[in-house]
């Protein structure tokens, strides 16, 4: 079974530029999550989708971050404009809608550096 | 928000030794999960615990879900070099949301 796919793996941009990340979850997983992981910290949830609807985006900085999952499968996360403090690893995870305890499976992440 | 405390932050152990790490919270969780993260990779699920008091093993890993539902521990027996990495505990709350600890860095000395 293929895992969660993410691209790109690395991205370097200057502050005030825009950037987009892509995620393809495990086939059949209805729930998709985007996390931000700052160096030395655990992942922090940004947004949770169930199929193509947003379940929780309370921790998403909506003035600059946006995410969509239009067809309920793959998803994009965008930052516009980027700030220095956005430098982090952006992780995508997915889980079965009715999976055991909601165990989440993570992709390899996109490492973003904002200069 | 949900806060999980992991201790110690980093551990240096000799190959072959056992290592234990702890995770505590002021919040109650119905599911505890332990993940391992290698450099440049996403976290990989090691063990999931669904019931208070549950003790679960996965190879050389053993984890327990605390009776109070506010803590969990993970034990690695007979450590090997590939056990190097960051170990995160996570608690499941609300609508399938995870809160993570800050992680324990494990270094295995050959």
- For A33-53, write each residue's pLDDT tens digit: 999 999 999 999 999 999 989
CB contact under 8 A, A93 and B103: no
pLDDT per residue over A52-79, tens digit each?
A: 899 999 999 999 999 999 898 999 999 9
Query: What percent of chain A is modeled with pLDDT above 70?
Result: 94
Asked if B102's CB is within 8 angstroms of A42's CB, the reply is: yes
Q: Which residue in the set B30, B42, B98 is minimally distant from A108, CB to CB?
A: B42
The closest CB to that of A102, out of B35, B42, B92, belongs to: B92
* Residue B97 to residue A45, Cβ atoms within 8 A: yes
Peptide bond into A81 cis (omega under 30): yes
Token representation of residue A106? 């993570």
Q: How far is CA B38 from the centre of its chain?
A: 14
Contact A106 B92 (CB under 8 A): no
Phi, psi (rounded to 5 degrees) for B78 = 45, 65
- High-pLDDT (> 90) share of chain B, %: 85
CB-defined contacts A:B, below 8 A: 64
């Amino acid at each position: 079974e293929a895992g969660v796919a993410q691209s790109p793996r690395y991205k370097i941009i200057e502050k005030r530029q825009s950037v987009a990340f892509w995620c393809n979850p495990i086939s059949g997983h209805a729930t998709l999550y985007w996390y931000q992981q700052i160096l030395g910290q655990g992942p922090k949830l940004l947004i949770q989708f169930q199929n193509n609807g947003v379940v929780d985006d309370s921790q998403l900085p909506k003035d600059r971050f946006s995410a969509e999952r239009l067809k309920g499968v793959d998803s994009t996360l965008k930052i516009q404009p980027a700030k220095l403090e956005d430098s982090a690893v952006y992780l995508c995870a997915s889980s079965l809608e009715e999976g055991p305890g909601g165990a989440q499976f993570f992709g390899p992440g996109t490492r973003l550096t904002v200069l | 928000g949900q806060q999980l405390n992991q201790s110690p932050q980093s551990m240096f152990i000799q190959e072959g030794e056992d290592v234990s790490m702890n995770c505590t919270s002021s919040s109650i969780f119905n599911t505890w999960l332990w993940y391992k993260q290698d450099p440049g990779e996403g976290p990989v699920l090691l063990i999931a615990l669904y019931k208070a008091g549950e003790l679960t093993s996965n190879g050389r890993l053993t984890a327990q879900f605390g009776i109070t539902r506010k803590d969990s521990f993970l034990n690695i027996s007979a450590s090997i070099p590939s056990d190097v990495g960051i170990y995160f505990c996570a608690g499941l709350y609300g609508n399938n949301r995870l809160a993570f600890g800050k992680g324990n860095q494990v270094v295995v000395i050959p």
